Structures are given as structure tokens and as C-alpha cells.
Structure 1
Amino acid sequence: MAIAELGHTGLWVYDLPLMKDFYTRLLGLRVTDEDEELGIVFLSSRPQVEHHEFVLQTGRTAAVGDKQQHQISWRVESLEDVLEFHCQFRREGVPVQQEVTHGNAIGIYFFDPEGNRNEVYLRIDRDVRQPFRKSLDLDQEPELIYAQAEALLNDGTVAYQPVQ
């Protein structure tokens, strides 16, 4: 017996309309079901495959800023997708914690309106021991981003640069 994959995760939220707007408009998730009376929204990035990957429901009791989960990570298909999120987050004023290479991924750590940490990332076909996290400059051409990520793998500095 073994887990095949993560099916879905969810968050308790204070402001359901605000959070629904953030995850649908900014991240592109689609509402697959919702119940206004119960204050719950089901979302998916690929509703034809998975009814819901993410759930938002009213009822949060923890204060904004209290740690509830480590992160929610959203895989994208291309570096261009990562760069589009980079530009969109900047336009929308979304708080970004760090833009990084993990050696096996390039991503952006950011926060939703209620302070939950998320990540959008592109998986790179490479096996790199984790944790590996170094800051990356996404304000450059794609070939330079890949070159910088490659150089950071072997630059001799500490492989994990935690950001609080």
C-alpha cells in the first residue's frame, strides 16, 4: 500500500470572496463547485482530470501571520509561466518572499491575501539534494536565468539560504 499522489489540500479563510478572487484571477484556478451557504469553494487547475485540488472554506480562527502550513506549491509547465507570474505579482502588489532556484526547480515564493505562503515553480529534470535554495534574478532573459541557476549549483556558497 502506498500513496499515489496528493489529491487536494484546503485552507480555512476569513474572507472567502477575496481568497476566491486571488486563486482564480491571479493563479488561474477554476471553480468546480461552491456552496455559499456553507462558505466553501472547490478549485482545480485541471478540472477535466481532478474535480478539486484546492478547497477554501470560511471558518479560520488563527490570526493572520500565524503559521498554519509550510507552503502550497503550484507546478507550472514553462519558465515563461514563472516569468508571467513574476510580472503579474509585481503589477498586483503580491508580496513575494523570494525568487529561487532549488537546483531541480525555479520558483517564486509569495503570499496570498491572508498571509499563506505559496510557490509557483517549474520542475527541472535534475536530481539535486534538498534543501537547496538560492536566490535567483528573474528580471533577465530566460537563457540568462537558466545560466544563473546552473552557476548557483556550483558556486561554493551555502546551498540553503532560508528567508523568514
Structure 2
Amino acid sequence: MRKSTGLSFSHVGIFVNDLEVMASFYSDVLDFTITDRGHLQGPHGPIDLVFTSRDPDVHHQIVLVSGRPEEIDFNVVNQISLTADSIETLQAFYQRLQTAGVTELTPVTHGNALSVYFRDPEGNRIELYIDTPWYVSQPMRVPMPIELPADELLAWAEQHARVLPGFRPRSEWRAEMAKLMGVE
């Protein structure tokens, strides 16, 4: 049996075209702090880096790196996901993103999470989300009425999730996964 110990996810780095536009977006719109900047010699020439974080204990959570080729016609980044601490935070960022004019701003429920998707200035898909206290089989995605008051939105999401395949408390799903991963 495999054990899921010894590794945990830490950060992601993405290549960008316009480092300053991207650094401004991540710091001004998503409240990341620029923790460092610098230059390195990369395999194809010099690169500039901007390190960002929202956690004072973590030097960087997202690294922006110059050198994204202009001729790439497909973005290999499916999404970068950030956890919100509450429905109210998710709703506040939704309003902020509307004001910022982001593209593809889409609030959805996955049954086990409430999410807001959008594109950063270079087309990378970002997800802001909160987990719900239950699990449903995935994939599942439907639009959600994010404008509802937080308690009504959660009640709406639960009512919707209860009729979906696999509905059960998240704690049951977690126990099943812990056993499967050998980390009971």
C-alpha cells in the first residue's frame, strides 16, 4: 500500500509575456505580496522573476517568470486554484473581479466546492474556491447564484448537491481517501 507522506504541494511558477502587468494583477487584484524580484540565466537566455505570496511564512506561492514564447497557441496551464476562507471572501473577490474587468468570470458549484473562475491578463485560468462540508462524485459543474446572501447560497448548494451521485459528508469521503492513500 502506498503512503502519501513526505511531500506536500508548495508553489507554482508560470511563464509570462508582460511581467509588470502580471505582477500588478496578482498584487493589486488578488492581494499577493511581491516578496522578491530577480534575474537568472535560463536555458534560453536571461529571465526575470517576481516571487509572490499571501502567507508570511511562505516566501513564494506563485512565481512569475519572463520568457513565455509569443507563438504558443495553447495555454498548457489548465488552472491555478486558490482557497478562500469563507463564502463572503469568495463573494467579495467576485465583486472585485467584476470591477477589474477580468474575462470569463464564472461562478459555479462543483457540489463539493463553490468556485469562481476567471482569466488573468495573459489568459491563465484562475479558480478561487471554498470546500463544502459534503462530497459528490466528480466531475460536476453548474452555474451558481453567487449574489445570494452567504447562508442562502450554502443552503442552495447543499440542496443541489443532495440529489447528485455520491453525495455524502466530506468526512466520510476523506476517511475513504486516507485509507486508500495509507495515511489513516
Q: State the TM-score bracket (shorter-chain normalisation).
A: 0.7 to 0.9
Q: Aligned residue for 1:43?
A: 52
Q: What letter matches 1:151 in structure 2? A: Q
- Cα distance in 2 for partners of 1:11, 1:139 equals 32
Matched, 1:74 2:77: no
Which of 134, 143, 146 matches 1:126? 134
TM-score by length of 1: 0.85
Question: Quick one: structure 1 residues 102 and 55, their matched pair in 2 at CA, closer, same or farther if it must change by over 3 Å?
Answer: same
The amino acid that maps onto 1:74 is L
Alpha carbons 1:32, 1:47 under 8 Å: kept: no
SS at match of 1:80: helix
What is the RMSD computed on CA atoms of the aligned residues? 2.1
- Kindly indicate whether residue 20 of structure 2 is the aligned counterpart of residue 17 of structure 1: yes
Does residue 98 (structure 1) correspond to residue 101 (structure 2)? The answer is no
Q: Partners in 1 of 2:113 and 2:33 — Cα distance?
A: 25
Q: Percent identity?
A: 33
Change beyond 3 A, Cα 1:80–1:64: farther
Q: Is the 8 A contact 2:78 2:125 kept in 1?
A: yes
Distance verdict in 2 for CA 1:155–1:129, change over 3 Å: closer
Distance of 1:92 and 1:136 partners within structure 2: 21
Q: Report how far residue 64 of structure 1 moved.
A: 7.0
Q: TM-score, normalised by structure 2?
A: 0.77
Counterpart in 1 of 2:161?
A: 153
Contact 2:136/2:164 (<8 A) preserved: no
AA in 2 matched with 1:42: F
Return the letter of the residue paired with 1:12.
Answer: F
Cα offsets for 1:103-160 (capped at 9, x unmatched): 2211101000000001001122322222122110111211221122112214569xxx
- Say whether residues 1:87 and 2:95 are aligned partners: yes
Give the secondary structure class of the aligned counterpart of 1:60.
Answer: coil
Which one of 101, 105, 110 corresponds to residue 118 of structure 2? 110
Deviation at 1:65, TM superposition (A): 6.0
Task: Please identify the structure whose Cα radius of gyration is greater.
Answer: 2
* Partners of 1:30 and 1:43 within 8 A in 2: yes
Structure 1: 5+ residue stretches without partners: 158-164
